[in-house]
């Protein structure tokens, strides 16, 4: 939410952060760990959208280097991969359709 209001930048997604996610998944210490891992990865996806499709209000002179449909198609595929990577218990407890 803070990135929406441009007050704080989210934590950059690095190889170290991915290793932390993998360590959390392997340890299975808390029942909420899958939620945290999924939220971190979802935030990474959202940052990619922000970087590839800037808001016209914030950057009115932005001109894409490729057709907008190409960006959307690429992001759509990535969203589907994210959906299939979610743990089953997150999908079963969710009413959200990705």
Report how far Cα 15 is from the mean position of its chain's Cα atoms.
15
Rounded to 5°, angle at Cα 69 from 65 and 71: 60
Which band of pLDDT confidence, cut at 50, 70 and 90, is reported for residue 64?
Answer: low
Q: Which residue has the higher pLDDT, 58 or 6?
A: 6
pLDDT over 60 at 49, yes or no = yes
DSSP state letter for 13: -
- Helix ranges (H only) for the chain are 15-27, 33-52, 68-85, 88-92
Phi, psi of 47 (to 5 degrees): -60, -40
In 3D space, the residue among 62, 19, 63 whose CA is nearest the CA of residue 40 turns out to be 19
């Amino acid at each position: 939410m803070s990135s929406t209001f441009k007050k704080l930048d989210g934590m950059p997604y690095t190889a170290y952060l991915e290793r932390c996610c993998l360590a959390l998944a392997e340890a299975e210490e808390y029942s909420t760990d899958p939620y945290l891992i999924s939220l971190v990865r979802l935030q990474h996806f959202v940052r990619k959208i922000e970087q590839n499709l800037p808001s016209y209000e914030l950057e009115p002179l932005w001109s894409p280097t490729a057709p907008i449909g190409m960006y959307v198609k690429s992001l759509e595929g990535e969203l589907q991969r994210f959906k299939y990577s979610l743990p089953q218990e997150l999908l079963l407890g969710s009413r959200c359709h990705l």
